[in-house]
Structure 1
Amino acid sequence: MPSKLEQLRSMSTVVSDTGDMESIRAFKPTDATTNPTLILKATQLPAYAHLVEEAIAWGRKHAASAGAVTDRLAVNFGAELTKIVPGRVSTEVDADLSFDTAAMIVKARALIADYASRSVSHERILIKLATTWEGVQAAAVLQKEGIDCNMTLLFSAAQAIACANAHAFLISPFVGRILDWHVKNGGGPYTSETDPGVLSVRGIYAYYKANDIKTVVMGASFRNIGEIEALAGCDRLTISPQLLEQLSKDEGALTRKMSPDDSKGAPAATALDEKSFRWMMNEDAMATDKLAEGIRTFAKDLGSLRNLVTARLAAAA
């Protein structure tokens, strides 16, 4: 019998959640996604020193800011990833811009332009935006320009509905972080079938399919392979190298758990204005907490990446 990873590929598009290119080569995902945390980790590995050196040299030549060099570094990684995966590569807009629609749009356009300068088509790239109200509005503008967006740090139905209304290309609901919150707040014990993160993704998926919403649902942030197995059949699943390895070694049978045909009973599509979005988020303590925490964490790691770049620029002067 083929491994569970191979069985999963027949049901869902498998995406690698890492900046480690060797892991990506090993497990052959269709797409790859990165964020400041993953790139920060990857810069510590000798195999990627040349990508860091190129960005530093570029920064010195152009007297660029640490932020510009960090963007350059993110695109360096992304461009390399496009040589490995056949599908899309996600590159994240700075977390500290998460409440500034105009700035997110400007940054996204700049990232796409940098990719274009390396002959990487915008059709190979997804721009990752935090799913704040401002991020959703930025996505609505970018999608109209043909720049596809990956809406990250998504924890609730309110966020998913807003993204659908904005015609976002893809959403990344964070399964494991939802579970973390409920466990921390006294919930459980949970099985894969009662896991609140799994149930959240299943609900969003059913809503999208029932209403013929084209936005792709990509489960993310998994804590164990049980969560992944429980979402077999979801449009896409972005999985860490550690869990990909576990799936590749497990030769048990994998049952499909999700299908567009299973969306009966899902609520009808609804419009969602800013006031309604903010109220629904206010009433969802988990989503509010995890969105804020996620933005802070990504912003902190982005700051560490900028500090690394600043130190390297100073040393090279």
Structure 2
Amino acid sequence: MTSKLDQLRDMTVVVADTGDLQAVRRLKPQDCTTNPSLVLKALQAPEMADHLAHAVEAGRGAADPVSAIVQHLTVGLGAELSKIVPGRVSTEVDAHLSFDTEASIAKARALIAAYDKLGISKDRILIKLATTWEGVKAAEVLQKEGIDCNMTLLFSMAQARAAADVGAFLISPFVGRITDWYSKSTGQSYTPETDPGVQSVRRIYDHYKTHGIETVVMGASFRNTGQIEALAGCDRLTISPDLMTKLSEDNGDLPRKLSPGAAKGTAEAISEPEFRWDLNEDAMATEKLAEGIRKFHEDALKLGKIVTERLAA
């Protein structure tokens, strides 16, 4: 029998949500996504010790050595991942720049330049930006420069519409974090079909396909395989190694749940006031976006602390 993971590969591009090199080699995804939390975890693995030491020595003479070393580590991990996967590696712009369009653009360009020095072309990289209004406007500029963007921390239709309006290459609508919020606020548990995170991605997917929007929909942030199975057929799904392993060990039938239909018309663009109002009216999206930015920044600070301690050693 064919595993559910292999069945999923026949209808959806499977992406690994990890910086774990061994897991990526074992599971053979098409792409990889990383974020500050995953980078922090990956760099604590024994096989990355030499990489950390090399980055610290290489960045000692920089004007801002901690920032230079963190970028070196992040891009270095992405470079290692790019040697394993045939597709794209997503690398995130610093969370503390989420409300600064110009700084986000500058950081994205710096990341692409750093990859280029390692011989990795920009068509192998996706720049991850938080889906704030400022992040969306940064993506608008970057996409025109041929730098493809992955809009992350996306929890609402307003965010999805804004990302599509500027031609973002890909969006990462979150599933598990939405479900977490509703479970906590209502005290309810959900089946895959009633799961509010699953339903959110399905609405966005249907909106995009109905209006002929080319931006790729990549479901993210899964808590269980049921959520993944309920989105079988989505353009892409980024999945943790643990859940990918569970799918690889399950030989049950996996029916397709999402299919693109014929486009019926052009979507109306969302204005900045409408974006901000719709986001404000959605308590879940507002809270999870802010929380996500804070948590990514916290892990970036932890990584910076590790680098600072190594510099002082």
Q: Is the CA contact 1:108–1:127 (under 8 Å) kept in the aligned structure 2?
A: yes
Take 2:262 and 2:302, find their aligned partners in 1: how far apart are those partners?
Answer: 44
Aligned to 2:297: 299
- 2:223 is paired with a residue whose SS is coil
Are the aligned partners of 1:92 and 1:128 in contact in 2 as well (CA < 8 Å)?
yes
Letter in 1 for 2:256: R
Q: Which amino acid aligns with 1:299?
A: H
Distance 2:15 2:102 in 1: 29
**Normalising by the residue count of structure 1, what TM-score does the alignment of the two structures yield?**
0.97
Q: CA-to-partner distance for each residue in 1:24-76, whole Å, 9 max, x for gaps?
A: 00000000011110111112111111221121011124454211211111000
Residues in 1 aligned to 2:274 and 2:103: alpha-carbon distance in whole angstroms: 24
- Can you list the C-alpha shifts for 1:106-141, whole angstroms capped at 9, x where unaligned? 000000000001110000000000000000000000
Partner residue in 1 for 2:188 = 188
For 2:268, the equivalent position in structure 1 comes to 270
Distance 2:254 2:50 in 1: 40
**In the alignment, is the contact (CA less than 8 A) between 1:35 and 1:92 conserved in 2?**
yes
Q: RMSD value over aligned CA atoms?
A: 1.2
1:1-317 matched pairs, under 5 angstroms: 1-62=1-62, 64-261=64-261, 269-315=267-313
Q: Are the counterparts in 2 of residues 206 and 263 from structure 1 also a CA contact under 8 Å?
A: no
Amino acid aligned to 2:303: L
Instruction: Kindly provide the CA deviation profile for residues 4-30 of structure 1, in whole angstroms up to 9, marking residues without a partner as x.
Output: 000000010000000101000000000
Asked whether the 8 Å contact 2:62–2:68 carries over to 1, the reply is no
Q: Which amino acid letter does the alignment assign opposite residue 290 of structure 1? A: K
1:273 Cα deviation from its structure 2 partner: 1.2
Q: Name stretches of at least 5 consecutive residues in structure 2 with no aligned partner.
A: none
Helix, strand or coil at the partner of 2:126: strand
User: 1:84: Cα distance to partner?
Assistant: 0.2
Tell me how far 1:189 sits from its aligned partner: 2.3
Query: How far apart are residue 150 of structure 1 and its match?
Result: 0.3
Gaps of 5+ in 1: none
Q: Secondary structure at the match of 1:269?
A: coil
State the distance in 2 between where 1:203 and 1:63 align.
Answer: 47
Which deviates the most, 184-193 or 248-257?
Answer: 184-193
Instruction: Pick which of 38-47 and 144-153 moved more.
Output: 38-47
Q: Which amino acid aligns with 1:149?
A: C
Partner SS, residue 260 of structure 1: coil
1:233-267 per-residue CA deviation (whole Å, 9 max, x = no partner) reads: 00000000000010000000000000002888xx9
The residue matched to 2:186 in structure 1 has which SS?
Answer: coil
